[in-house]
Structure 1
Amino acid sequence: MDRVFIGSQAVSTGQLTEHELRRWYRPIYRDVYVLKSLDASLRDRTLGAWLWSKKRAVIAGAAAAALHGSRWVDADEPIELIAPSARRHDGLVVRNETLADAEVTTVAGLPVTTPVRTAFDLGRHRAFDEALVRLDALKWATFYSIDEVTKLVQLHPAVRGVRQLKAILPLVDGGAASPKETWLRMLLIGAGFPAPTTQIPVMDGWRLLGVLDMGWEDIKVAVEYDGDHHRTDRRQYAKDQRRIRRLQQLGWIVIRVIAEDTPDDIIGRVQAAIRRRSSPRSTVA
């Protein structure tokens, strides 16, 4: 049997009996089954949603973003479909929306909205902060064109959520390697700092010393978000400490942010670093 399959079809073709279907398999959507012992992945559920639609729907939203390579999409994320018949089902969001042929592509054998159309939908249908995280992650994965998304906005100026999308697009940055980096960048911008450059490469002679999460290269102030791996992976921690020391020797001020830091603390530390660099006594290597 396939990993995900239509139950009635398996019975009608003699692959399974009704008893075997009920005994060994469980439905994830109406008439779409997986093994009871299987922990269905996001990909399984996406395929199952398409089978549930009788192969008529187009995968959209976060599930489409995941198929395009976006990270940070949970396995239990509701699967979004664009289909003529917007039937309700637990775990699915079905929208009856218009799609042009150029807004649909194929990934892993499934019809999926293109990265541009996926961005257009995510920016309209998700809450502002989540939408920005999703668009950053999709930009990291696909390098979709903001200009192309803007063209879709111009083609559909009256659709739901387009005002929010227009506000989000100027903030999208493909240099955010995680949702926390998006949050940190927006915290800095919201505090009145100039928009930081993301993914700043730093050379040590001919060698790449590292890539900084974000910062202001002209004054050599960087801000980095430290994930849990810095606490759990001793080898990585030691490597990072050596890198930070060398960055400091090259004239960088590196502000490291952890989950326990408060926004006020982060903002205060950044303000102090920029003030230090703005001082007449300050020198940058």
Structure 2
Amino acid sequence: MEELLVPVRPVGRRATGPPPVPIGLCAAWSRHAAELAVPIGGALQRWEETPSTRVMVAEGQLVRLLPEIFLPPDLLCGAVERALALGCAMGAHLQSHHVIAGPSAAWVVLGGAPPSPAELLSPAHRGERAGLVLRHARLHPGDVETIGGAPVTVPVRTAMDLLRFAAAPVAGPALRGLVAAGHMEVDEVRERLRRMHRHPGVQAARDRLEALLATDPVTRDAPEISGG
């Protein structure tokens, strides 16, 4: 039987402010999300950022979702858990129009270490809080899927946002992961970028995609994945 990792509590004070409340977290997204999020919300840990907590994150004993908000890694084993964990970490700041996007959407699908800052899209407004970037964007219904009741950009839209806005050290590995895992086809991303007009960063995104295809065998030689 696989042994579950139980982290030792960090040395230091709990972070200021009220502790995360497990009941009702992610309800802004959906009732389904709120129900699934209860055990995740109950396991959230709020601690000050100290050398002790940084060591525990580096050693894999805790995962930092947002500054001063942590979760044991065994609760992030799947895409549903990762999507809901980010919603839980948002707490009362989460709104129904917040959509997990960019590096955070890639993390939900692929796993690994959560990106910092986390990223959300919203058709309502843009803004920032500690550890989070909220971008304003118009989202078509086909750009968003629900994972455990949480809205997440589909892989093709995720790739487009990575190419347009993410730094190269973030965008490259995420794109490689999405292609290698069969979540998207490169040609679909190219076609979507071709059809975009007068959008900020589109030409740079096209150039970045072609440069990646020219230098990366994973994306260049990836087989086409049939839809379904």
* Cα deviation, residue 46, structure 1: 4.6
| Residue of structure 2 in register with 1:54 after alignment | 95
1:147 shift after superposition: 2.2
Q: Tell me the amino acid that sits aligned with residue 118 of structure 2.
A: I
Deviation at 1:129, TM superposition (A): 4.3
**Are the counterparts in 2 of residues 104 and 113 from structure 1 also a CA contact under 8 Å?**
yes
What residue is the counterpart of 1:14 in the other structure? none
Scaled by the length of structure 2, what TM-score is found?
0.55
Larger RCO of the pair (alpha carbons < 8 Å, separation 6+):
2
Tell me which amino acid in the other structure corresponds to 1:75.
P
Where in structure 2 are there 5+ consecutive unaligned residues?
1-20, 27-43, 49-65, 77-81, 223-228
Shift of 1:150: 2.1
Q: Which residue is equivalent to 2:22?
A: 2
What is the SS of the residue equivalent to 1:81? strand
Deviation at 1:154, TM superposition (A): 2.6
- SS class of match (2:120): strand
Instruction: Determine the structure 2 residue equivalent to 1:87.
Output: 127
Q: Aligned residue for 1:12? A: none
SS state at 2:129 partner: coil
Q: Residues 3, 119 of structure 1: CA spacing in aligned structure 2 closer, same or farther, 3 A cutoff? A: farther
Per the TM alignment, residue 159 of structure 1 is displaced from its structure 2 partner at its CA by 1.8
Amino acid at match of 1:109: G
Q: For each residue in 1:104-130, what CA deviation from the matched residue of structure 2 results, as whole angstroms up to 9, or x when unmatched?
A: 111122101010000000011112343
- Out of 107, 126, 130, the residue aligned to residue 66 of structure 1 is 107
User: Aligned residue for 1:126?
Assistant: 166
For the 8 Å contact 2:179–2:219, the answer to whether it is kept is no
RMSD: 3.9
Q: Which residue of 2 aligns with 1:135?
A: 175
Q: Aligned pair in 2 of structure 1 residues 37, 56: CA closer, same or farther (>3 Å)?
A: closer
Q: Look up the SS of the partner of 1:88 in the other structure.
A: strand
Q: Which has the larger radius of gyration?
A: 1
Instruction: State yes or no: 1:168 paired with 2:188.
Output: no
CA distance in 2, matches of 1:45, 1:92: 10
Greater per-residue strand proportion: 1
Normalising by structure 1, we get a TM-score of 0.45
Aligned to 1:256: none
Count of residue pairs the alignment pairs up:
158
Instruction: Check conservation: 2:100, 2:121, Cα contact below 8 A.
Output: yes
